[in-house]
Structure 1
Amino acid sequence: MTRETARRRCAVVGLGARARLYTEALAGPYADRFELAAFCDVNARRMAVHNEWIGRHVPGYAAEEFDEMLRRERIDLVVVCSVDRTHDHYIVRALEAGCDVVTEKPMTTDADRARRVLDARRRTGHEVRVAFNYRYNPVHAAVREHLASGAIGEVGSVHFEWLLDLKHGADYFRRWHRDKANSGGLMVHKATHHFDLVNWWLDADPLSVYAVGGLFFYGAEAGRRRGLARDYARVHGSPAAVGDPFAVHLADWPVLSALYLDAEGEDGYHRDQNVFAPGVTIEDDMAVLVRYATGATLTYHLTAYSPWEGYRVAFNGSEGRLELLVEESVWARPDARADGANAVMHGAAVGDEAGRTELVLRRFWQPPTRIDVRSGEGGHGGGDVRMLADLFGDGGPDDSLRRAADATDGARSLAVGLAANESFTTGRPVRVREVLAV
């Protein structure tokens, strides 16, 4: 804490759409505990937009001025929201400068980068928190509570299916995420959420991974084969994109327009690429089998081209079965519009029909019991607001569910995704410790 204000001085690096969660929290409800002291980004326009949103001026620094920013602004805490492949650079530099770090998931994108983070944390003794907001969703907390209580006895297997609809799923193929060098693919960028949940739910270490994945629906070849491809590289200014249900017209979305369309002149980044254009190097359909140290197995499937969005999870135990169904949207409407980037990136847009949440306990020889659970208000089923309170609030009582995730947790979930990526390539099972020992 700084002696003058008794508040910790905080910097946010990477001022895209996701950073808004943090800038508004630090400038708003947590301003009594933190001083939002600096922004850092490759694009000055995006930093200016965040200043407009919070209604104040936070000094902005170019990416190459990151170290200077830490010194000049006397930063205590760095929040990392930049492109995934750059996370480790900012995390390590911040730790070595004496700062604590909060990083968006995934912690980083490959094993070498993860080792750099883990080594820097050990050397410096400073804290790294990974923003696994799904741990804070009340529905997911209820699952952990029932498993930990022994409601189904010892867990033998987990079946987990995650579906991204044609709006949300397609978005990963419009953005920088479409290049595996930037994101690690959906096994790293997206599934790190899900692998972390299973690690946390089971409180167990993953040992081995076998996986099969490919590009089935998106990309140039699939688009041509199914007659879905239209002849344009990006949407804005392209007549061929008019009427394409897979196109996002940035000018129609005030947040996306401000952050990306109006900022293109500085860095040339196009947020609205054609999902069926060349350059997609990530998978859109992935199946994974994981064995855990407890003997439990996980079968996981991620589909990025579903007509509805949500997930199913089932736990088979020695005394019964626990089943979770979450329908985040019943169907994706191509004409749905919403005011803001979060609807495009993280859930149903205005006009989509909301689904339901069901948690059912089926103990042997007993009728099924429906457990009353409800997602919270806000992003990620209420996980965002609860995570912010844990990261930036007063801490409160000890959390018996151990929701707070550190660099080790980040590395454990990353290791499963990296092992899956390696298995895609080799066609063989991969031992997790051979990829990344945590």
Structure 2
Amino acid sequence: MNTSLSRKEFLTALAALAAGAAAQVPLNTFGMQRKLRVVLVGTGVRGISFWGRRLVEQYPDLLEFVGLSDINPGRLAYAKRYMGVNCPTFVDFDELLRKVKPDLVIVCTKDSTHHEFIIKGLAAGCDVLTEKPLTTDEAKAQAILDAERKYDKNLIVGFNYRWSPYMTKIKELLQNGEIGDVTSVDFNWYLNVHHGASYFRRWHGLMDSGGSLWVHKATHHFDLLNWWLDSEPEEVFAYGALEHYGSNGPFRGKSCRSCPHKQECAYYWDITKDRHSMNLYVENEAHDGYVRDGCVYRHEIDIYDKMSAQIKYANNVVANYSLTTYSPFEGWRIAFNGHKGRIEAWLDIPWMKNGELDQESLHAAEMDQTRDDVIHEPLVLYKNWTDYKIIQVASERGGHGGGDRRLHDKLFRDKDAPDPYGHTAGVRDGAMSILVGVAARRSIEQGAPVKIASLTDLKPMPKRMA
């Protein structure tokens, strides 16, 4: 790598990443006249699609995959075919680093192991991009922060939700002072019985693997709050419980395929109808024992399925947040209260719009990178003492509301484009988003508020650091 590039210059360019995930960097950002040498560790569905196949297809002139790594050799073989690459594969990540010597490591492993591969990549002299969340607890977060400082390499967590036109419009209104200084926020996120249940079928249902949905899922939401409010969280008080999934179920089995209760279980999911999941997961179970269609009523499930938190920001804004995992519908609502007015925004609330998609198809459409159909979504701007205004925002259904495409294009095709709303996100943003979830877990355990500053050496700032 060109070591003459300053850390500040690198971070400025690389921080253009913005959920779900990590991304790639234009060649001249690194001072190179060759393709960037990229490796992917963790060949699950997110890794081989958004951070695999899509990069291969969209940016072949800018990067090349020079290695893939996973503990499961069967998934590795399928990933290589699915991504359409001709690079070596490694079960041993250390061997990959020794033999391939990449410029960039993309980490898409199980959340609880992110820190291992991030730190190894930094220590090997690589820059690292990691799928969200950054990690799952405060000790691992501190270890990552220490490693980034020690090795003077660069780490980024991308937040693709920031880049969608709808989310950006909210940021624009707040940044322009349309409702004055914000004083409070109400934010409610609803996962439906299709998408919400999927987390409890997978390793995400185990606290030790995913850190709970406070971290794995809500990292998106907390980052949006931090970005919209342009401040950092200071204190969290939370409630949570497991009352629907896990041991609360009337019956259970090992997997949906082998379950004797298929006819009576509303959560039965036939994975055999999903050829991609069969090829990637089911056909490779023998290698590591991972069951993709696990029972949502397994006794081992120990994460929360209802969650509510109050978050106090360093700029004195108070946010009330809730996450429901078994809603009849999928969507979210938010309201910002300010001294001069109020903003109300929402997506996919069925009674507010005649949606074209059924609830089972909604999440699949959002994740679909090929959909580019334009939709118009409203939000409402209220001004004190005057009438309200409905603003129609042009957006897309697929790729997280168009955020995925805009994230990649900013990085590869239009890196010098102005970014007036600060979509760029650094490792501090990644840490601050997961620390809200970690603090919420600790608050539930302790029955008391938790200070963000008590978790790592990061001290919350009234104005979010660039």
Please report the TM-score for the alignment, with normalisation by the length of structure 2. 0.85
Task: Tell me the C-alpha RMSD between the 2 structures.
Answer: 2.4
Bigger mean CA offset, 410-419 vs 122-131: 122-131
Residue aligning to 2:290: 269
CA drift of 1:297 comes to: 0.3
Residue of 318, 332, 336 corresponding to 1:315: 336
CA drift of 1:241 comes to: 2.4
Q: Distance in 2 between matches of 1:345 and 1:13?
A: 24
Residue aligning to 1:183: 210
1:305 aligns with 2:326: yes
- Counterparts of residues 168-317 of structure 1 (less than 5 Å): 168-220=195-247, 222-223=248-249, 229-242=250-263, 244-317=265-338
Q: Distance in 2 between matches of 1:375 and 1:329?
A: 18
Give 1:134's aligned amino acid.
Answer: Y
CA drift of 1:26 comes to: 2.5
- The DSSP-based 3-state class of the residue aligned with 1:207 is strand
1:368 aligns with 2:395: no
Contact 2:196 2:325 survives alignment (8 Å): yes
| Pair 287,406 (structure 1): closer, same or farther in 2 beyond 3 Å | same
1:11 aligns with 2:39: yes
CA drift of 1:25 comes to: 2.5
Fraction of identical pairs, as percent = 39
CA drift of 1:398 comes to: 3.2
CA drift of 1:295 comes to: 0.8
- Hey, which bits of structure 1, 4+ residues long, moved more than 3 A? 1-5, 328-334, 344-347, 390-394
| Pair 345,387 (structure 1): closer, same or farther in 2 beyond 3 Å | closer
1:165 aligns with 2:187: no
Q: Distance in 1 between matches of 2:349 and 2:79?
A: 28
Q: Distance in 1 between matches of 2:410 and 2:76?
A: 26
Give 2:34's aligned amino acid.
Answer: A
1:80 aligns with 2:111: no
Contact 2:366 2:401 survives alignment (8 Å): no
| Pair 358,379 (structure 1): closer, same or farther in 2 beyond 3 Å | same
Contact 2:366 2:398 survives alignment (8 Å): no
- The DSSP-based 3-state class of the residue aligned with 1:144 is helix
1:165-207, Cα deviation, whole Å (9 max, x unpaired): 0000001100000100111101011111101100010111111
1:348-393, Cα deviation, whole Å (9 max, x unpaired): xx9xxxx983211001112111112133252211111222223444
Bigger mean CA offset, 249-258 vs 318-327: 249-258
Q: Distance in 1 between matches of 2:114 and 2:288?
A: 19
- The DSSP-based 3-state class of the residue aligned with 1:186 is coil
Contact 2:246 2:297 survives alignment (8 Å): yes
Residue of 102, 108, 124 corresponding to 1:97: 124
Q: Distance in 2 between matches of 1:409 and 1:369?
A: 32
Residue aligning to 2:65: 36
Unaligned runs of 5+ in 2: 3-30, 459-466
Residue aligning to 1:110: 137
Contact 2:111 2:133 survives alignment (8 Å): yes
Residue of 412, 417, 420 corresponding to 1:400: 420
Q: Distance in 2 between matches of 1:231 and 1:69?
A: 40
Please report the TM-score for the alignment, with normalisation by the length of structure 1. 0.91
Contact 2:365 2:397 survives alignment (8 Å): no
Contact 1:232 1:241 survives alignment (8 Å): no
Residue aligning to 1:378: 398
Residue aligning to 1:226: none
- The DSSP-based 3-state class of the residue aligned with 1:362 is strand
- Counterparts of residues 402-417 of structure 1 (less than 5 Å): 402-417=422-437
Residue aligning to 2:55: 26
